Amino acid sequence: MSAIFTLENLVKFSTLSGLEIVLGIDNIIFIALIIYNVPKPRRVKIRFFGISLAIALRIVMLFGVSWIMNLTKTLFSVNGFDFSGRALLLMAGGLFLIIKSIFELVELLRIDMKPIQGPDHKRYTTKQDLKIVLQIVFVDLILSFDSVIVAVGMVNQLYLIIPAILIAMVVMLASAGAIGDFLHSNPSIKVLGLAFILLVGTSLLLGGFDIDIPKSHLYAAMFFSLFVEMINIKVRKIRSGTEDTQTKKH
């Protein structure tokens, strides 16, 4: 037991926890976007079940890591491209995220869009909730392959990996609601979130063809765009306040 609580394991655990949280950013944004139109009382339940199932699936994947490694074996080749089980799953997940994000962006840009009245409670049944939960689990499954392989490669000790994943789950549960509210109270930030999901989907699709786009590049682009947009929001608020003051004076 004393061999577990060592400085080396503490460093490994801290690093892995941070890695899992960072790799979960795209999951958090996707979840925050997909459940916003769900009536508010049901969001917490859907988030909990969706993330819990996704994390349980990720832990199962850890125990079946040898099976995951086998997914990298070539199944067939087309015009010089080798396709494995992993490649096909990445392509399927990438296409799903691309289509989902484009659909949501088109909804935002519809000229004949009616004023926002809030979610229609009658539209959301248990079947609709299940559909959203399954989407959360599917996206997490696709995004988990590389993180599971990286985790096992970094720390080949399940007693460190599993608690790190559970910490990531707690962070996802705690932050998804606040991030969702922030995204939808600032439409321009919501567009950035959808654009990021579109980039992630494109990255996954290209990954199926062995074209690697490092996630660090995607995160850097996202955080830089977010930084610029936060400045724009602040400037708009200052200008709006100044214009209101001038209007009152006149």
Domain residue ranges of the chain, discontinuous segments joined by +: 7-249
Quick: pLDDT tens for 140-178: 888 777 677 666 666 667 778 888 888 888 888 888 888
pLDDT given for residue 98 in this prediction: 92
* Residue type present at position 37: N
Across the chain, mean pLDDT equals: 78
DSSP result, the chain: -TTTS-HHHHHHHHHHHHHHHHHTHHHHHHHHHHTTTS-HHHHHHHHHHHHHHHHHHHHHHHHTHHHHHHTTSEEEEETTEEEEHHHHHHHHHHHHHHHHHHHHHHHHH-TTPPPP----GGG--HHHHHHHHHHHHHHHHHHHHHHHHHHHHH---HHHHHHHHHHHHHHHHHHHHHHHHHHHHSHHHHHHHHHHHHHHHHHHHHHTTT----HHHHHHHHHHHHHHHHHHHHHHHHHHHHHHHHHHH-
Could you tell me what percent of the chain has a pLDDT over 70? 82
pLDDT at 181: 81
Sequence-distant (≥ 6) Cβ neighbours of residue 151 within 8 angstroms: 16, 19, 20, 62, 161, 164, 165
- Grouped pLDDT means (10 residues each) for the chain, 250 residues: 66 81 81 80 82 81 70 78 83 89 82 47 67 85 73 71 83 82 81 88 86 82 87 84 62
